[in-house]
Structure 1
Amino acid sequence: MRKFLAVASVAVTAAAFVATAASSGAAAPSGAAGKASSVGATAASISASAADGYTVKRVVKDANGAAHTRYNRTYQGLRVSGGDFVVHSAPGGAFTGASNGLASPLTLSITPKISAGTAMATATTYFAGTITTTGSTELFVDATSGSGRLAWESVVNGWAADGQTPSKLHVVTDAVTGAHIGKFDEIETVAGTGNGIYTGAVSIDTTLSGSTYSMIDPVRGSGRTCDMNNGTSTCTTFTDADNAWGTGSNSNRQSAGVDAHFGAAKTFDYYLNVHGRNGIFGNGTGVPSRVHYGSAYVNAFWDGAQMTYGDGSGNAKPLVSLDVAGHEMSHGVTEALAGLTYSAESGGLNEATSDIFGNMVEFYANAPSDPGDYQVGEKIDINGNGTPLRYMYNPSLDGSSHSCWSTSTKNVDVHYSSGVANHFFFNLAEGTGATSYGTSPVCGSAPAVVGIGRAKAEKIWYRALDVNFTSSTAYVNTSTPANNARLHTLAAATFLYGSCSAEYKAVQAAWTAVNVASTDTACPVGNDFSLAASPASGSVNPGSAVTSTITATLTNGSAQTVTLSASGLPSGATAGFSPASITSAGGTSTLTISTTAATPAGTYAVTVTGTGASSTRTTTYSLTVNGAPGCTGTNGNDVAIPDNTTVTSTIVISGCNRNASATSSVPVTIYHTYKGDLVVSLVAPDGSVYTLSNRAGGSADNIIQTFTVNLSSEAANGTWTLRVQDAATADTGRIDTWSLTL
């Protein structure tokens, strides 16, 4: 998806979707429970329909073994825009919740009353500029509002009104009434030595071939920087004889290239070193940077694969500053992670994410000539009076952005609705009132906020984007109240720093300060504490022991004595604490879990409980007891399958240092009096789900069968889970034994 920086001189065409609700407060249709079970969730948590289909987009696995699997949704075979969801599971695979954008299961006809040709004809009337070609028209379900309606999405290609900005306009038309729903553009605006226009003297990594240096970065996936020569098609990679690039003056064409090359490198390094993401796409590849685009082109854009920079008014101010580079390339990260829809409040969150990380790249780079400052585009002087495009500490200073949320925020351009999240982030990092970067006002009578620092704030935002946001997340969501940025960032703060920690409370306060009201549970007011295990997971061979440090942190009131205990241990395992009691104000104890030779292999969620005079808190330690080394394993422990219940059984593979094979075998023996009730799935260590049997076999008894599965994309080592769901009433059974040969 392409994204522009967006400046006053360029028309922005991203109108908000206004999808209306299809019917339905009804319960999920028959079969929905089975669909939900196939992804390890409940039907209600993901608004499942029997006509749904789900595909895995990506899996995030935490250090303790918890997993977060992001799915795309189809309905009767049609793509569902806004139907994506994330299934959260605990170590060992137990379902813990979901992030979901739908208000209720989809129930609509997929027969259009408006033809594709009519929809395309309508779409062309919304194109402002010169049309070169018309693309596809796709029938899909628009559920960006939380409810579904049948729609056509038509693509019109050409040039925007300025004649230089490429445009790939998507127009959405109601497939039943012919009404215009909305539109958005894929173009979303905005170790040698070099001397850049904005960054000054910096080091850049280049490639030597023969006696010629090329501006190709061998350290960061061969990202290249090239010269468009003020055209719109051909781009020539910069070369140089002595590896000294640019003069710092715009009159030297290499100078803008130095800034762009440096910006791409620092953005790559920022995501890798701060968030553990290997490049914009997460695969280690670099991105091309195209400079000197067009003539007097006052914009920069990301087109889904590369960066493009104009030279500004009079070709005098190339838009190659650090924060612009970080901003535009961060659109690629957002698209790969949450895919925030580029309209209404989700579009504001999309733009804010780019502003946030663009500024964090600027702070990370720490270039003396372009220090971090919480302003957007302050170096490129698009306004012509030395002012930036946007101010994160007080967004309304630009005359258009919203500093405080209101019911009208969803109706303004996404570059202006971004102000609410930008203001939140500044308050979270730096606090309200007078700061070193500017004065941040609170909205209404909200209390002042004390910042927690950039390092913590940026990690909270990235975590929320990575595992909590969906494509339709908003500031305030009336159709799906839980799908809002406040709750999702609080979930991120809980994961990183603990529920009701100082960081958690700062997130609450920072949202309140921008008028995004409380939708979360208040933190306790009495004496309270939190517990944490470090590390939160570990593996042990049978007959050996493993340790972890348990820490109690005061979250409210006065300290108390906390007595520690453990539960959920496998047979033959014991837990001991040294000391057995600690203070809630930072006390620590060493947890030692000892096993015997007979302790069965598997992954177990061990609950550590701290009991105090005023409150009791728990934390979870994920214990993996290794199986015998090799690429095979068996679990012969019986697991009862009660009626209408999902159960699991695990096998731990260790010492198999390769991927599983394309012909992996899974022999299964399940005794059940009606095997047509059963959904049987194999869950890989990374959370990927492989369905072995989905209510097949009718009224016959038992599943005694060897399944052959292509698991070649999966690492063999880890905990494999056999998940069995009884999806209908009246019959029960048990998992007798199962094996795995990888």
Structure 2
Amino acid sequence: MINKYAAATFLLLGGLSSTALAQDYSRVQSRALNDNGTPYLVQFRAGMAYKLSEAGKVLREQLQLSADDQLLPAKTSTDDLSFVHEKYQQYYKGIKVEHASYTVHARQGSVTSISGQFERLRALNITPSLDASAALQRALAFVGAKKYMWEDAREEAGLKATENNPAATYKPQGELVIVRNLRSSNPLKAGKPTLAWKFNVYAQQPLSRAYIYVDAASGEVVLQDAIIKHAAATATFATAYSGTRTLANESTTTGQYRLREYTRGLGIETYNARKGSSYTAAVDFTDADNSWTEYNNANFDNVAGDAHFGAQATYDYWKLVHNRNSFDNAGAKIKSYVHFDDTPGDGVGFENAYWNGSVMTYGDGATRFRPLTALDVCAHEVGHAVCEKTANLTYQNESGALNEGFSDIWGAAIEQYTTAKLGLTKSTWLIGEDIDKVRPALRSMSDPNSQGQPDTYKGTYWKATTTNPTSANDYGGVHTNSGVLNHWFYILTVGKSGTNDIGSAYSVTGIGMEAAAKIAYRAESVYLTSSATYATARTATIQSATDLYGAGSAQVTAVTNAWYAVGVGAASGGGGTTPPPTTVTYCASKGSSVAYEWIDYVKLGTIARTSAADGGYYNGTATSTSLATGSSQSISFSAGFASTAYTEYWKVYIDYNQNGVFTDAGELVVSGSSASAGTLTGTFTVPATAKSGATRLRVIMSDASATTSCNSYSYGETEDYTVNITGGTLASTEVASLTGGSTTPAATLSTAIERAVTLFPNPAADELNVVLASKAPVISAVVTDLRGARVAAARFENGKLNVSGLAKGTYLLSISDGQKTFHERFVKE
């Protein structure tokens, strides 16, 4: 359905001409920006603030709303500090802008601040060329499930009964929205607001549930936001794990007792999925005498008590510590399903636990895990539900890492609170220690590195974010990069001194679990928005600490310095360790051999260097040129070859934000490939908000397409130079194409990767054609299996490999032209 609203609906916050939009900076005390350059948090001066009745005016002025922008009231709440929070949802020409909301914060009738995510949209076409039905087919093709929930009559009937709505269905209904394209590798589309159809797709086999967004023009899937946050290698729970507990339940008219109770919100219910994948086929756990000792059996039925206990303990924590009535703050029922198996009958237990957007789901584990009903796992998964109802952090890249990190924070906080109250013994800072059979735990908040997670932003074990987040790459490292938020919370709570991965010395005095948890919860529930990053999380938590404990308080200082300790932002001027001025240290990048190719020419501005081979690396940082922000630049370069001109992969980086790495958005400014010895030219635009001062230019030429900004590689060369930039803060820029590639300057070179070796057809049944990009003859060819054992039943003759004698499978072909050896995989049909 298309979201359209009458113009009268928007009179409060939209419809003004651009001439009427003048920002009133005299009232502003401070401003922090989102990654798209719009305000994330604006604080107002005491005595000069707007009145709450002027919410429309403050948003129009501070966000510079155009006639096409609308902000609709979404909800209003009052917290324990007597702050009023009026939340608004952004629309553009009547179309909802996904993950874009803004909140006005006021106290005693005066606006103290505004915060949120706002998309500045101009001339966006809101007429879809693809209808909802066609878009749904694209979404289903993307998911590729064998069976969906709406195809199961029993599940459909169960949903209708649960919602008391005969029209209720799991079948996705399309909603037209505007959302950022976070999947495209095309720099002209990546990260750009896009008109899209949104579908809630719940797959039964294999199990998944996610919001799938389909470009309403091209049919491309532009975003997958997981609703089921898989806990495999992530979450854990436990009363096979918490001893004998007293659990609230209920008796039935048949004299049986079952795991249901209704003193907490709308109730807590725990069911037996009977090692199946159907919620509607689940049954009650029952007992005749309400003494459940016989449930400690070979089937692990005692973990039903763990799930029931965990749900009750989690509800109690949120109510008693944060005055939150269940995960939705409206008493929502917490339903848990134990003995769930996504592929029943395969003889392998389900190694997972998750919140599916409606209920808790627990598998019995197998080789890695015991049944996944531990207390901290339960708290973690309900934490996802809390996040969904508050910040609603998108489940990918940095926002997804924050999503996972907050769930771990609640796992630790609830475990500590409950164990202290009941006298249990558990490891607060280990997540999933009760259920992990293989390692001490899934994650360690006190020492993330010990479990393969980073403890510093973009430090050791940091997983690069991606434009194509899927479950295969952990949606851009959500379960890995969450280690940074975990460690921040640990340091904030207990304190720590040391030196982090980027060389910053720190000393933080802990403020204790209660204060740390209150700050984290306020940030998540009041200030964070769907597309939050680590930078905005820092701003949100500092503001939360200020609200709770006052500006300049020990808590504000600790929050700030804890972020500095994990590599996000500067240290507080009021405490902690302020770092001395340091020179940024860059990672090494070097070619191992220049026997066949090297960089022989680089020109950018006043940098102009012709050279022979420099041993794989040249430090030209003493040579510099100046680049004006907003200017268009051309960089020229060429390869020198000993003989044959091979296909070479060029990458040019500029560290625009001067943080010592080249992995931030927009810092790969030129990328492409060529087999030419001629001069190549790449063009790029220096972003208007790049950081002023001297920074590093890195030019890499390698024979391998996978070579990045920071590694050694086999053949080729790296050269570093200095560029001086004037401007503001970090902004992204597009990856330019290469032009040139021959002695004719106007020729165009495709940025498509030219493989040094081409194999076809692949898979092959009888013969495999082998072609070198250099057109050189193949001198030798060796086939090995994936174990590295040489295979004799393959013959290479006249540019073709006879594979008819090979068994079906995957093999590695190593070929040589007499100078270099290339490796490619192929499949024998």
Q: TM-score range by the shorter chain?
A: 0.5 to 0.7
Match of 2:203 in 1: 158
**Are 1:492 and 2:509 counterparts?**
no
Match of 2:227 in 1: 186
Match of 2:528 in 1: 469
Distance 1:271 1:119 in 2: 40
Counterpart of 1:290, as a letter, is Y
Q: How does 1:46-195 map to 2 (within 5 A)?
A: 46=63, 48-62=65-79, 65-92=82-109, 94-102=110-118, 104=120, 107-132=123-148, 135-143=172-180, 148-160=193-205, 163=206, 165=207, 167-190=208-231
1:266 paired residue among 308, 313, 330: 313
Match of 1:224 in 2: 269
| Structure-2 change in CA distance of 1:174 and 1:461 (3 Å) | same
Match of 2:432 in 1: 377
Scaled by the length of structure 1, what TM-score is found?
Answer: 0.59
Please state whether the residue corresponding to 1:288 is helix, strand or coil: strand
**Are 1:256 and 2:303 counterparts?**
yes
Counterpart of 1:224, as a letter, is E
> How many residue pairs end up in the alignment?
475
**Are 1:339 and 2:398 counterparts?**
no
Please state whether the residue corresponding to 2:507 is helix, strand or coil: coil
* Structure number with larger C-alpha Rg: 2
Tell whether the 8 Å contact from 1:119 to 1:154 is kept in structure 2 after alignment.
no
Counterpart of 2:259, as a letter, is M
| Structure-2 change in CA distance of 1:147 and 1:31 (3 Å) | farther
Query: CA-atom RMSD, angstroms?
Result: 3.2
Please state whether the residue corresponding to 1:136 is helix, strand or coil: coil
**Are 1:201 and 2:253 counterparts?**
no
| Structure-2 change in CA distance of 1:524 and 1:395 (3 Å) | closer
Q: Measure how far apart 1:345 and its partner are.
A: 1.1
Tell whether the 8 Å contact from 1:88 to 1:97 is kept in structure 2 after alignment.
yes
Q: Deviations over 1:543-584 (max 9, x none)?
A: xxxxxxxxxxxxxxxxxxxxxxxxxxxxxxxxxxxxxxxxxx
Tell whether the 8 Å contact from 1:359 to 1:374 is kept in structure 2 after alignment.
yes
Q: How does 1:596-675 map to 2 (within 5 A)?
A: none
Match of 1:245 in 2: 292
Tell whether the 8 Å contact from 1:272 to 1:278 is kept in structure 2 after alignment.
yes
Tell whether the 8 Å contact from 1:443 to 1:514 is kept in structure 2 after alignment.
no
Distance 2:369 2:534 in 1: 39
Match of 2:492 in 1: 428
Match of 2:258 in 1: 214
Distance 1:63 1:40 in 2: 26
Q: Measure how far apart 1:452 and its partner are.
A: 1.1
Please state whether the residue corresponding to 1:274 is helix, strand or coil: helix
Tell whether the 8 Å contact from 1:131 to 1:156 is kept in structure 2 after alignment.
no
Please state whether the residue corresponding to 2:556 is helix, strand or coil: helix
Q: Measure how far apart 1:102 and its partner are.
A: 2.0
Counterpart of 2:178, as a letter, is V
| Structure-2 change in CA distance of 1:455 and 1:63 (3 Å) | closer
Counterpart of 2:549, as a letter, is Y
Please state whether the residue corresponding to 2:58 is helix, strand or coil: coil
Distance 1:277 1:88 in 2: 19
Distance 2:54 2:217 in 1: 32
Match of 2:351 in 1: 298
Match of 2:480 in 1: 416
| Structure-2 change in CA distance of 1:208 and 1:70 (3 Å) | same
Q: Measure how far apart 1:401 and its partner are.
A: 5.0
Counterpart of 2:494, as a letter, is E
Distance 1:31 1:207 in 2: 63
Distance 1:66 1:353 in 2: 23
Distance 1:43 1:49 in 2: 8
Q: Measure how far apart 1:203 and its partner are.
A: 1.1
Distance 1:319 1:130 in 2: 26
Please state whether the residue corresponding to 1:198 is helix, strand or coil: coil
Counterpart of 2:257, as a letter, is Y
Match of 2:410 in 1: 357
Counterpart of 2:263, as a letter, is V
Q: Deviations over 1:471-511 (max 9, x none)?
A: 121113xxxxxxx0111100000011111111101011110
Distance 2:430 2:61 in 1: 42
| Structure-2 change in CA distance of 1:57 and 1:331 (3 Å) | farther
Distance 1:200 1:258 in 2: 10
| Structure-2 change in CA distance of 1:315 and 1:469 (3 Å) | closer
Distance 1:89 1:364 in 2: 32
Counterpart of 1:388, as a letter, is A
Counterpart of 1:184, as a letter, is D
Please state whether the residue corresponding to 1:345 is helix, strand or coil: helix
Bigger Cα displacement from structure 2, 300-309 vs 167-176: 167-176
Q: Measure how far apart 1:115 and its partner are.
A: 4.7
Counterpart of 1:183, as a letter, is Q
**Are 1:512 and 2:573 counterparts?**
no
Match of 1:42 in 2: 59
Counterpart of 2:287, as a letter, is D
Scaled by the length of structure 2, what TM-score is found?
Answer: 0.53
Tell whether the 8 Å contact from 1:402 to 1:416 is kept in structure 2 after alignment.
no
Match of 1:541 in 2: none
Tell whether the 8 Å contact from 2:128 to 2:195 is kept in structure 1 after alignment.
yes
Match of 2:687 in 1: none
Tell whether the 8 Å contact from 2:380 to 2:410 is kept in structure 1 after alignment.
yes
Q: Measure how far apart 1:521 and its partner are.
A: 8.2
Tell whether the 8 Å contact from 1:428 to 1:510 is kept in structure 2 after alignment.
yes
Q: Measure how far apart 1:47 and its partner are.
A: 5.0
Please state whether the residue corresponding to 1:170 is helix, strand or coil: strand
Tell whether the 8 Å contact from 1:246 to 1:258 is kept in structure 2 after alignment.
no
Q: Measure how far apart 1:43 and its partner are.
A: 1.8
Q: Measure how far apart 1:107 and its partner are.
A: 4.4
Distance 2:295 2:429 in 1: 24
Counterpart of 1:100, as a letter, is G
Query: Which runs of 5 or more residues in structure 1 are unaligned?
Result: 1-26, 435-439, 477-483, 526-742
Counterpart of 1:271, as a letter, is W
Please state whether the residue corresponding to 1:126 is helix, strand or coil: helix
Tell whether the 8 Å contact from 2:88 to 2:101 is kept in structure 1 after alignment.
yes
| Structure-2 change in CA distance of 1:523 and 1:324 (3 Å) | same
Distance 1:465 1:422 in 2: 14
Q: How does 1:669-708 map to 2 (within 5 A)?
A: none
1:329 paired residue among 382, 389, 394: 382
Counterpart of 1:426, as a letter, is Y
Distance 2:17 2:378 in 1: 45
Match of 1:667 in 2: none
Query: Which runs of 5 or more residues in structure 2 are unaligned?
Result: 1-15, 24-51, 151-170, 183-190, 232-237, 467-475, 577-829
Distance 1:269 1:108 in 2: 47
| Structure-2 change in CA distance of 1:144 and 1:364 (3 Å) | farther
Please state whether the residue corresponding to 1:200 is helix, strand or coil: coil
